[in-house]
């Protein structure tokens, strides 16, 4: 995702740069008290939780088991 100075501000900030969206598709194993559920007003395991990562952020992703 690219944001430039021509894009409308997001919240209180005018962000510019390259971002990656990361979505957690299955949140059923998370704590029901996780801050994301309270901020988004959703229930545990009902919807994906997504957020943005700025360019250069290191992400560790596990690969599916092949056994």
Q: What is the pLDDT of residues 42-63, one digit of tens each?
A: 999 999 999 888 778 888 888 8
Pairing of strands 17-24, 49-54: antiparallel
Residues 3-25 as b or e (16 or more Cβ within 10 Å = b): beeeeeeeeeeeeeeeeeeeeee
Task: Name the 3-class secondary structure at 1.
Answer: coil
Query: Domain map of the chain by residue range?
Result: 20-61
Residues 6-46 pLDDT 10s: 655 555 555 566 678 889 999 999 999 999 999 999 999 99
């Amino acid at each position: 995702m690219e944001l430039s100075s021509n894009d409308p501000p997001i919240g209180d900030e005018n962000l510019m740069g390259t971002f990656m969206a990361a979505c957690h598709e299955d949140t059923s194993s998370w704590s029901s008290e996780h801050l994301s559920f309270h901020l988004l007003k959703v229930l545990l395991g009902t919807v994906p939780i997504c957020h943005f990562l700025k360019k250069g952020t290191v992400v560790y992703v596990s690969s599916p088991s092949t056994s």
